A = this chain, B = another copy of it.
């Protein structure tokens, strides 16, 4: 058995979005536009956008924040709220946002 511990302070998020048909590029552009300001949040450790090599309509953010409070503050930002309430309904067929704690081996 391996020896490990869990970092319950920092917060990891994997946020996956499947674009509606024909909307993948617009979705990538909309999500990429969120990156510069998010990286300037003092609690942001990582905020990386990725496109799937297996599902041409799928994109995923890999995120890490210094704490749940920093993540919650991020989620409350006007640009993020605008994305979820106004942009996502136009561009996204389905999505799944899940938060994690890192296991340190």
Residues in A lying within 8 Å of B, measured CB to CB = 1-12, 14, 26, 28-33, 35-36, 39-40, 42-43, 45, 48-55, 58-60, 62, 66-67, 98-105
B54 touches A99 (CB 8 A): yes
Q: Work out how many copies of this chain go into the complex.
A: 4
CB distance from A31 to the nearest CB of B (A): 8
Contact assessment for B66 and A9 in the assembled complex, using a CB-CB cutoff below 8 Å: yes
How far apart sit A4 and B34, CA to CA, in the bound complex (Å)?
12
Q: How distant is the Cα of A80 from the Cα of B5 in the complex, in angstroms?
A: 20
Please name all residues of chain B whose beta carbon is closer than 8 Å to the beta carbon of A98 when the two chains form the complex: 52-55, 58, 60
**B33 with A102: CB separation less than 8 A:** no
- 4 closest A-B pairs by CB: A50-B100, A9-B42, A2-B33, A35-B105
